[in-house]
Structure 1
Amino acid sequence: MIFKKLKNNSLKKGLNTHLKARDTSGINARVKSIGFLVDEAHDPDFEKFYDIFKDLSLQSKDIKLFSFVDSKKKLPSLQQNQVQNKDFDWKGNLHNRNAQEFLDHDFDVLVGYYPKQHQILDVLVASSKAKFKVGFQGADERLYDLLLNVPFKDFALFKSELKKYLEVLGKL
C-alpha cells in the first residue's frame, strides 16, 4: 500500500518534470511517422491502426504502436510492444527497454488512443520525444497539442478527423 502511494506520487512528479522539459521546436514538422499509445482494456484491435497509413499517405513501416495492459495474461505472448503497471518501480522509473525505445523515437505525431486520463499512459505521452501529440477530449490538456472531440469508439470518425486536422495544420 505504501509503495503504491509512493509510486503514484512519483508518477505525478515525473509527469510534471517531463511536461516542463518538452522540446516543441519540431511541432510544425510534416508527418513522416506516427506512433500510437493504446490502452488494451479499451481497444484490443490493433490492425486498424496499421491500416491508417493509407489515409495519411505514409508507408506501413512508418506506423508504430505500443499498448498498455493492466496485467499480462498467464498465456505466453509474443507481443513485445506492451507496457504494464509493474514495468514502473515505486520511484516511477520505467523498466521496459522496448517501451523506452518507443518513447525515444522521434515521431512526427503521437496519438494517445485512450478515452480519458490514465496515469501510466499520461506519463508515457509526457515522456515521449514526439513532436506533435494528439489525444481525445477529456484527456489532460497539458499533454497534447490537439484534442479531438469525437466519440472514442468511432474509429472511422477519429481517422477522418485526424486526417482533416493534420491537413489543416499543414502536416500532410
Structure 2
Amino acid sequence: MILKGFREKSNKKYFNKMLVNRKVSNTSKTIESLGVILNIDEVSNIEAIKSISKLLNIRPNSFKIITYSEADQGIEASEFPCYSPKDIGWSGKIKNVELEMFLNTKFDALISYYFTDNLDLKVLTAAANVDFKIGVLQEEQRLNDLIINVNPEAIEVFKKELLKYLSILKRI
C-alpha cells in the first residue's frame, strides 16, 4: 500500500511537469488524424465513439482508439487495445510497447473521453504527442485545449458539440 502511494505521488509530479512543459499549438490545421483515450468502465456505446472518425472524415488508418480499465476483466471484453494501471509505472513510465507506440504517434487531435478523475488516464493524455487535445474532464483545465461538458452517456450530444466547435475553430 505504501508503494502505491509513492507511485501515485511520483506520477502526480510527472503529470504536473508535463503540463508545465506543454507547448500549445496556435495553428488551426485541419484534423486528419485522431486518437481516442477511452475509459471502458464508463462507456457502454463504443460504436458511437468509433463513428466520430466518419463524422470528421478521418481515414480509418489515421484513427486509433485505446481503452483503459481499472479492472482486469475489462481488458478481455474490449475489441480495442485495453490497458490497466499495471501498464503505467513510476514517474509516468509506460511498461507496454503498444501503449507507448500510441502515445508517440503524432496525431492532429486527441479525444480523452473519461469522466472520473483518474491520474493514470490524465498521465496518458498529458504524455500523448498531439497538437490539439479535446476532453470532457474539467478538474484539470490545463490538460485539454477544448473541454466539452456532457453526461457520460450523451455521446451524440458530444459529437454534435464537437463538430460545432471544430467548425468554429476551423479545424475541420
Q: Give the structure-2-normalised TM-score.
A: 0.89
The one-character-per-residue Cα deviations of 1:93-147 (angstroms, maximum 9, x if unpaired) are: 2201111111111111101101142111001111111100011153411100011
Distance 1:151 1:169 in 2: 23
Say if 1:111 and 1:73 are closer, same or farther in 2 by CA, change over 3 A: same
- Poorly superposed stretches of 4+, deviation over 3 Å: 74-80
1:118-133 map, 5 Å: 118-133=118-133
Partner of 1:70: 70
Say if 1:53 and 1:126 are closer, same or farther in 2 by CA, change over 3 A: same
Pick the structure with more helix per residue. Answer: 2
Partner of 2:102: 102
The aligned length equals: 172
Partner of 1:162: 162
State whether residues 152 and 158 of structure 1, in contact with CA within 8 Å, keep that contact through their aligned partners in structure 2: no
Deviates more, 1:111-120 or 1:24-33: 24-33
RMSD (CA atoms): 2.2
State the shift of 1:60 in Å.
Answer: 2.4
State the shift of 1:34 in Å.
Answer: 1.0
1:1-172 map, 5 Å: 1-25=1-25, 27-73=27-73, 81-136=81-136, 138-172=138-172
State whether residues 38 and 112 of structure 1, in contact with CA within 8 Å, keep that contact through their aligned partners in structure 2: yes
Unmatched runs of 5 consecutive residues or more in structure 2: none
Percent of paired sites with the same residue: 29
Distance 1:153 1:139 in 2: 19
Say if 1:60 and 1:91 are closer, same or farther in 2 by CA, change over 3 A: closer
State whether residues 8 and 92 of structure 1, in contact with CA within 8 Å, keep that contact through their aligned partners in structure 2: no
State whether residues 38 and 114 of structure 1, in contact with CA within 8 Å, keep that contact through their aligned partners in structure 2: yes
Q: Give the structure-1-normalised TM-score.
A: 0.89
Deviates more, 1:101-110 or 1:79-88: 79-88
